[in-house]
């Protein structure tokens, strides 16, 4: 019974889910901004994967992409701009329930439009954009958490829930209008259309119940369901990360270059993966270092899923993997792949470290603001610091 209460009584890992939200939305946002000059060649009308070819593929696999609704340049620019804006808003934690849906739509629309433009990092973002739908990733380090904290303060002071929310219902109404339009036009396949309408209905039910009484039994029931979905999604994210490393490690073991310790040597001499040739040549010139990195990569990836039972060993390997991805970003010129993997790894970061990290960021932000205003240091606005401080009536 205690285990059931633990799974349904609270959304576990609030700091880990916040880091995942920030990490993946920031990675996708930075990618979209960097590729802005090349957007037409990557996902737009000037790409090698033409609109007609994409339409034939989508008709066969049933994947979702809003870019198949029209082949016009104006529509493409709208979708691309919406993907940029929703990524930024999700990173800030503004209306995370709505933004997580729009973030997923942006990711799927662009990636499914040109499936051959992605890499391993894009695949991870693709999956995580779906998993984020089921998480309560705005509990901490978000504008939603700040708004919830202010609502709790108002309730404690005044004894009521305060002024009604206007932005939330407006977003819900606009989403319903958009769904009605695409339903009438018939541009979305039945399965995805049902998913979107269900998400829209659930959001409306959540608002209606919370509007009537945030402490009622129906609201508590919705919280139990939301907590269970969040915890299940967090478990899936952890399993996904372990599966990525386990499969990568065991496939590497079967390769002769990894077995003789020379695998790392070859990508360092490929022009496509050499943003800093001098740095790559420096590493490749030391045979012992190449061998240690090759064997160490395989050992860490194979061993990591088994280290989850030992917190200290897990933390050591976690640091090693993050350093490995940082090195890949610099040496092989794959920054967004590395950022995506580091964001996935963040689900295993210990809570005390994340709390300290949040404190450091808040103090640094307060110092910057105080210097810019010519005043003394002002601490940053408090979010919901822990699940215990986030009352059931106001949690994001």
pLDDT for the residue numbered 61: 85
pLDDT for the residue numbered 159: 66
**Average pLDDT of the segment spanning 87-103:** 96
Model confidence pLDDT, tens digit, residues 145-168 = 998 888 888 777 776 666 778 898
Lowest mean pLDDT among 51-60, 113-122, 155-164: 155-164
pLDDT for the residue numbered 191: 87
- Mean pLDDT of the chain, nearest integer: 87
pLDDT for the residue numbered 278: 87
**Average pLDDT of the segment spanning 245-266:** 91
CB 273 within 8 A of CB 267: yes
pLDDT for the residue numbered 196: 95
Phi, psi of 320 (to 5 degrees): -65, -40
- The contacts of residue 240 (CB under 8 Å, 6+ apart) are 127, 128, 131, 344
* pLDDT class of 15 with cuts at 50, 70, 90: very high
Model confidence pLDDT, tens digit, residues 257-276 = 999 989 999 988 888 888 88
Residue ranges of the domains in the chain? 2-245+385-389, 255-349
pTM for this prediction: 0.90
pLDDT for the residue numbered 373: 63
pLDDT at residue 216 greater than cutoff 80: no
Q: What is the DSSP string of 268-327?
A: GG-GGG-SSHHHHHHHHT-HHHHHHHHHHHHHHHHHGGGGGGSHHHHHHHHHHHHHHHHH
Structure-model confidence comparison of residues 193 and 164, the more confident one: 193
Place of tokens 């994947």: 63
Maximum separation of any 2 CA atoms in the chain, in Å: 71
The C-alpha angle with vertex 65 and arms to 236 and 329, in degrees rounded to 5, equals: 60
Distance CA 247, CA 301 (A): 8
**What distance lies between CA 249 and its chain's CA centroid?**
24
pLDDT at residue 382 greater than cutoff 60: no
Nearest in space to 200 (alpha carbons), one of 180, 220, 223: 180
* pLDDT class of 380 with cuts at 50, 70, 90: very low
Residue 283 half-sphere exposure, CB side, CA atoms within 13 Å? 23
pLDDT at residue 322 greater than cutoff 80: yes
* pLDDT class of 377 with cuts at 50, 70, 90: very low
- The contacts of residue 346 (CB under 8 Å, 6+ apart) are 16, 19, 20, 23
pLDDT for the residue numbered 391: 35
Q: With 0-12 CB in 10 A as exposed, 13-18 as middle and 19+ as buried, what is 331?
A: buried
Q: What is the DSSP string of 99-154?
A: HHHHHHHHHHHHHHHSGGG--HHHHHHHHHHHHGGGS-TTSSSSHHHHHHHHHHHH
**Average pLDDT of the segment spanning 218-238:** 92
Model confidence pLDDT, tens digit, residues 296-316 = 999 999 999 999 888 899 999
User: In the 8-state DSSP scheme, what is residue 50?
Assistant: -
CB 118 within 8 A of CB 376: no
- The contacts of residue 305 (CB under 8 Å, 6+ apart) are 242, 245, 246
Distance CA 384, CA 190 (A): 39
Lowest mean pLDDT among 21-35, 66-80, 200-214, 279-293: 200-214
Distance CA 344, CA 359 (A): 22
Model confidence pLDDT, tens digit, residues 353-373 = 999 998 888 888 877 777 766
């Amino acid at each position: 019974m205690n285990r059931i209460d633990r799974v349904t009584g609270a959304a576990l890992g609030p700091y880990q889910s916040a880091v995942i939200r920030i990490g993946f939305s920031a990675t996708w946002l930075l990618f979209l901004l960097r590729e802005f000059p090349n957007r037409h060649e990557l996902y737009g009308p000037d790409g090698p994967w033409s609109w007609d070819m994409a339409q034939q593929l989508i008709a066969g696999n049933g994947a979702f992409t809003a870019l198949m609704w029209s082949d016009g340049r104006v529509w493409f620019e709208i979708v691309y701009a919406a993907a940029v804006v929703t990524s930024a808003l999700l990173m800030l934690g503004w209306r995370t329930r709505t933004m997580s849906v729009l973030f997923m739509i942006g990711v799927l629309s662009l990636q499914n439009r040109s499936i051959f433009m992605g890499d391993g990092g894009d695949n991870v973002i693709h999956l995580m954009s779906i998993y984020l739908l089921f998480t309560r990733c705005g509990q901490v380090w978000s504008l939603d958490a700040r708004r919830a904290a202010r609502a709790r303060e108002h309730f404690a002071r005044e004894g009521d829930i305060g002024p009604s929310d206007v932005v939330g219902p407006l977003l819900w109404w606009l989403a319903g209008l958009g769904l009605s339009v695409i339903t009438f036009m018939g541009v979305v396949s039945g399965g995805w259309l049902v998913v979107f309408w269900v998400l829209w209905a659930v959001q409306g039910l959540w608002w209606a119940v919370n509007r009537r009484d945030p402490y009622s039994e129906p609201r508590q029931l919705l919280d139990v369901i939301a907590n269970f979905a969040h915890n299940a999604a967090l478990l899936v994210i952890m399993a996904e990360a372990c599966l990525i490393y386990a499969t990568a490690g065991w496939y590497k073991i079967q390769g002769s270059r990894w077995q003789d310790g020379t695998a790392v040597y070859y990508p360092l001499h490929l022009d496509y993966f050499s943003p800093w040739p001098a740095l790559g040549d420096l590493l490749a010139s030391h045979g012992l270092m190449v061998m240690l990195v090759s064997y160490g990569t395989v050992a860490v990836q194979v061993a990591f899923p088994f280290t989850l039972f030992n917190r200290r060993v897990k933390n050591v390997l976690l640091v090693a993997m993050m350093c490995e991805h940082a090195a890949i970003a610099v040496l092989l010129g794959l920054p967004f792949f590395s950022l995506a993997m580091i964001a996935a790894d963040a689900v295993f970061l210990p809570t005390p470290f994340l709390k300290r990290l949040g404190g450091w960021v808040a103090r640094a932000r307060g110092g910057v603001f105080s210097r810019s205003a010519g005043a003394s240091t002002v601490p940053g606005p408090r979010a919901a610091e822990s699940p215990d401080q986030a009352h059931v009536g106001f949690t994001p």
